[in-house]
């Protein structure tokens, strides 16, 4: 059998992989499949990180193979047929719609879904059932970037591409540990930066000296929550020094004067003091931004996961607009997506406020276009955005949700305020959980478990962060009775009476229908199909008449190269924001700011990577990072056990004392749920305050206290015994 070219199913970098049968005579081989980087893939050029390289080892482990059901959560599951499971789901949907209305049906999906899965779910929920209650874990990941792009440019869609990593004069990385979270993007940048040492500047903004910050020419270790102040301070200097592009501002933007009025209030001395950095470093950052021919900014969760995430992302975009750093090689604001097909989800309308083809639920023309394409009566799609991720938990708490359907994600680990989340999940009258793996933490809260075929077992499309679309063909038979996610959604649709809407015979047909809804939109993909993508990945926009080569030439691989934006007046919008600060400030009871993030080897809630030996050995346990000054004051050292407490819960972790984190700030990796470690859940501590625009929760910052644990106390904590340890802390870094 020959090799299969596909895409890595982990992060949004979207590296091309080549999978072939294992020939090694070593016994036992780690997997039947050998994976290597696809040198022909334009995004990754043959590179892969440890996750992509080991992915095949997780394919066959701990799979959910058959549908399972139970009447209540305290009963064991029993194996059932697909017929019984699907009949129960369709009956339940009919019952909930009849008794509570369509708004009581919710689906929570994932950037792990392929575009065909996403699209089919939108048609079922938003079109046929008439509720926009489809949201995805992308809400926790990059919905602030989506909102910022839409508000600033008139449309979603990251303007730059990965080639800009090797064409920039200044890379500005804020709120992103790219080296660990998007390793191959950082590999490309790091190689180029080292080759051009001294000529290309790398600025990293992060309260931690991360693997990314270690490569920086300038590391701005700002206080958590001061990003807007920092960026307004840079803008202040750019304006004062006239390092701006007046012609671009004049011809291609709107509302610069209102913005200039706000940044006037951010002189360097004040900004440096608020951010906890030196004036010299601030001025250096502004000088490099202002005098570089091209500036590329990268950002991810450190900006997006904030109660002012949209404001932060727009403030970063403002810097690009005032300096004309967009639509040209090596320039532009580039949000890195967390998941392999979060971009495809955005294209297919996979959030509660959007529709396929970068359309908005609230826009009547957009709704009508989609209704016509779906051959549904006018008014079928509700004009009201559906429940966002956290709102679904609140809906469960309040008894407003009659059916909760989860696909390809693990909310019992990844949602904020996890004890409250679990209590909400326990209240669900009927939860369908569709996943490839079993057990997971969320399975504990399900009434119906549906076995999903995963990467390598179904054919579908994924789009990576730079808008490159890749066909991911099936290369091995589906195990047990697993089915593709889109097939499950379509079958339920047919059982609800929508035979015409779900008459497809293949994923290729689903994709053909979807791309028609992108015609004339920023994300025009009408030139794409499974057949065409079988020859190799293609970046959008790619209208029907374009070949891959002419599309790239015409669009220069970047959006907005012509400085025309899809707003009503064709101009990009400035927006002026003052700093709002953290939603939960540290105080005397909870004196530390806790932040969290990924480690290089692990992925999300370990559903796959927890089952790969090499990665488990690489990161055997979660550690709490603390600055030496804080540790000294608490008389703690590396290896000591501590309890971290917030207003919502506690976690018990081993300490790592490191100078790579700011005084007053702590860090926990976000990967460990109840299945993988005892009482080390990061989200036991986080809160659910959201950005009012994007509705993305502020997972990145919570106020916590630290309690040293003796051996006896640790035994008591782990056994769940009541204990009163008293709170010990240090004052916040002022």
How far apart CA 44 and CA 51 sit, in angstroms, is 14
CB 48 to ligand SF4: min, Å: 4
In the complex with ligand SF4, which residue's Cβ is closer, 48 or 709? 48
The pattern of x and - marking residues 160 through 189 that bind ligand SF4 according to CB under 6 A reads: ----------------------xxx-----
φ, ψ for residue 468, nearest 5 deg: -90, 130
The answer to whether 136 contacts ligand SF4 (rule: CB under 6 A) is no
Of the residues 4, 5, 15, 133, which one makes contact with ligand SF4 according to CB under 6 A: 15
Q: Does 729 bind ligand SF4 (CB under 6 A)?
A: no
Minimum distance, C-beta of residue 463 to ligand SF4, in the bound complex (Å): 12
- The H or E element that residue 170 is part of is strand 170-174
The answer to whether the CB of 242 falls within 8 A of the CB of 213 is no
Cross-strand pairs, 109? 136
Applying CB under 6 A, the span of 44-52, 107-115, 142-150, 394-402 interacting with ligand SF4 comes to 44-52
Measured from the CB atom, the residue of 8 and 228 that comes closer to ligand SF4 is: 8
Instruction: Decide if residue 59 touches ligand SF4 (CB under 6 A).
Output: no
What the block records as the tokens of 107 is 């689906």
- Answer yes or no: are the C-beta atoms of 397 and 541 closer than 8 Å: no
Token pair 């920092």 is found at: 230
Distance of alpha carbon 158 from alpha carbon 333, whole angstroms? 7
Contact residues for 715 (Cβ-Cβ < 8 A; gap 6+): none
Q: How far is the CB of 49 from ligand SF4 (least distance, A)?
A: 3
SS in 3 state form for 343-376?
HHHHHCCCCCCEECCCEECCCHHHHHHHHHHCCC
Nearer CB in complex with ligand SF4: 10/259: 10
Residue nearest to ligand SF4 (CB): 52
- Does residue number 52 form part of the binding site for ligand SF4 (CB under 6 A)? yes
Buried b / exposed e along 700-721 (16+ C-beta atoms within 10 A): bbbbbbbbebeeebeeebeeee
Pick 190 or 201: Cβ nearer ligand SF4:
190
C-alpha to C-alpha distance for 167 and 329, rounded to whole angstroms: 6
3-state secondary structure of 555: helix
Choose the binding region for ligand SF4 from 12-20, 202-210, 407-415, 717-725 (rule: CB under 6 A): 12-20
Candidates 10, 134, 266, 390: give the one binding ligand SF4 (CB under 6 A): 10
Q: Which is nearer to ligand SF4, 182 or 530 (CB)?
A: 182
469 binds ligand SF4 (CB under 6 A): no
Tell which one of 5, 51, 63, 447 touches ligand SF4 (CB under 6 A): 51
Q: Which stretch binds ligand SF4 (CB under 6 A): 43-51, 408-416, 529-537, 620-628?
A: 43-51
Q: Is 48 in the site for ligand SF4 (CB under 6 A)?
A: yes
Task: Decide whether 8 or 418 has the Cβ nearer to ligand SF4.
Answer: 8
Based on CB atoms, which residue is closest to ligand SF4, 48 or 277?
48
Q: How many residues bind ligand SF4 (CB under 6 A)?
A: 14
DSSP 273-334: HHHTS-HHHHHHHHHHHHH-S-EEEEE-HHHHSSTTHHHHHHHHHHHHHHHT-SSSTT-EEE
With both helix axes pointing from N to C terminus, report the angle between 256-263 and 227-240 in degrees, rounded to the nearest 10: 110
| Interaction of residue 336 with ligand SF4, rule CB under 6 A | no
Q: Is residue 472 at the binding interface for ligand SF4, with CB under 6 A as the rule?
A: no
Which residues of the chain form contacts with ligand SF4 (CB under 6 A)?
8, 10-11, 13-15, 44, 48-49, 51-52, 182-184
């Amino acid at each position: 059998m020959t090799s299969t070219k596909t895409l890595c199913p982990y992060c949004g970098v979207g590296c091309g992989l080549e999978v072939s049968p294992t020939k090694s005579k070593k016994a036992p081989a780690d997997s039947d499949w050998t994976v290597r980087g696809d040198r022909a893939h334009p995004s990754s050029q043959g590179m892969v990180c440890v996750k992509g390289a080991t992915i095949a080892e997780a394919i066959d482990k701990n799979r959910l193979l058959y549908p399972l059901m139970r009447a209540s959560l305290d009963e064991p599951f029993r194996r059932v047929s697909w017929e019984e499971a699907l009949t129960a789901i369709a009956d339940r949907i009919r019952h909930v719609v009849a008794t509570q209305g369509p708004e009581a049906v919710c689906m929570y999906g994932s950037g792990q879904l392929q575009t065909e899965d996403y699209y089919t779910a939108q048609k079922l929920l938003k079109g046929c059932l008439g509720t926009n209650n489809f949201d995805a874990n992308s809400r926790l990941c990059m919905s602030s970037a989506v909102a910022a792009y839409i508000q600033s440019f008139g449309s979603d869609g990251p303007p730059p591409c990965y080639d800009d990593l090797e064409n920039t004069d200044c890379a500005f990385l804020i709120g992103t540990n790219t080296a660990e979270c998007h390793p191959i993007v950082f590999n490309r940048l790091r190689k180029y930066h080292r080759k051009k040492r001294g000529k290309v500047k790398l600025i990293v903004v992060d309260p931690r000296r991360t693997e990314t910050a270690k490569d920086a020419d300038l590391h701005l270790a700002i206080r958590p929550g001061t990003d807007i102040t920092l960026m307004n301070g840079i803008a202040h200097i750019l304006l004062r020094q006239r390092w701006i592009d007046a012609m671009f501002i004049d011809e291609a933007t709107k509302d610069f004067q209102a913005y200039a009025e706000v940044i006037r209030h951010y002189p360097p001395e004040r900004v440096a003091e608020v951010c906890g950095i030196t004036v010299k470093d601030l001025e250096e950052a502004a000088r490099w931004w202002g005098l570089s021919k091209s500036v590329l900014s990268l950002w991810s969760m450190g900006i997006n996961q904030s109660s002012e995430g949209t404001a932060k992302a727009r403030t970063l975009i403002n810097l690009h607009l005032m300096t004309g750093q967009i639509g040209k090689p090596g320039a532009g604001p580039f949000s890195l997506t967390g998941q392999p097909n979060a971009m495809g989800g955005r294209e297919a309308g996979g959030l509660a406020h959007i529709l396929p083809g970068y359309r908005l639920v609230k826009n009547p023309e957009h709704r009508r276009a989609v209704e016509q394409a779906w051959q549904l009566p006018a008014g079928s799609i509700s004009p009201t955005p559906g429940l966002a991720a956290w709102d679904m938990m609140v809906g469960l708490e309040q008894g407003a949700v009659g059916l909760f359907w989860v696909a390809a994600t693990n909310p019992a680990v990844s949602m904020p305020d996890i004890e409250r989340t679990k209590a909400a999940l326990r209240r669900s009258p009927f939860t369908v959980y569709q996943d490839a793996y079993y057990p997971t933490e969320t399975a504990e809260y399900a009434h119906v478990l549906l076995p999903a075929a995963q990467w390598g077992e179904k054919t579908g499309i994924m789009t990576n962060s730079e808008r490159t679309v890749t066909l991911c063909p099936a290369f091995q038979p589906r195990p047990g009775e697993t089915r593709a996610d889109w097939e499950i959604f379509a079958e339920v649709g047919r059982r609800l009476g929508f035979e015409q809407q779900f008459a497809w015979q293949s994923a290729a047909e689903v994709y053909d229908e979807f791309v028609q809804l992108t015609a004339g939109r920023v994300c025009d993909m009408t030139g794409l199909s499974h057949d065409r993508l079988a020859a190799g990945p293609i970046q959008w926009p790619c209208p029907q008449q374009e070949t891959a080569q002419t599309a790239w030439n015409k669009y220069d691989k970047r959006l907005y190269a012509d400085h025309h934006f899809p707003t009503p007046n064709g101009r990009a919008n400035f927006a002026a924001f003052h700093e709002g600060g953290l939603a939960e400030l540290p105080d005397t009871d909870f004196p530390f700011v806790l932040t969290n993030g990924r480690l290089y080897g692990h992925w999300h809630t370990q559903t796959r990577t927890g089952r790969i030996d090499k990665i488990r050995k690489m990161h055997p346990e979660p550690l709490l990072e603390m600055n030496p000054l804080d540790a000294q004051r608490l008389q703690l050292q590396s290896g000591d056990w501590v309890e971290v407490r917030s207003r919502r819960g506690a976690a018990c972790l081993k300490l790592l004392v490191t100078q790579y984190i700011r005084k007053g700030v702590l860090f926990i990796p976000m990967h460990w749920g109840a299945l993988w470690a005892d009482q080390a859940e990061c989200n036991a501590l986080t809160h659910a305050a959201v950005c009012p625009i994007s509705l993305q929760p502020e997972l990145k910052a919570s106020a916590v206290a630290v309690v040293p644990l003796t051996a006896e106390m640790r035994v008591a904590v782990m056994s769940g015994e009541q204990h009163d340890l008293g709170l010990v802390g240090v004052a916040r870094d002022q």
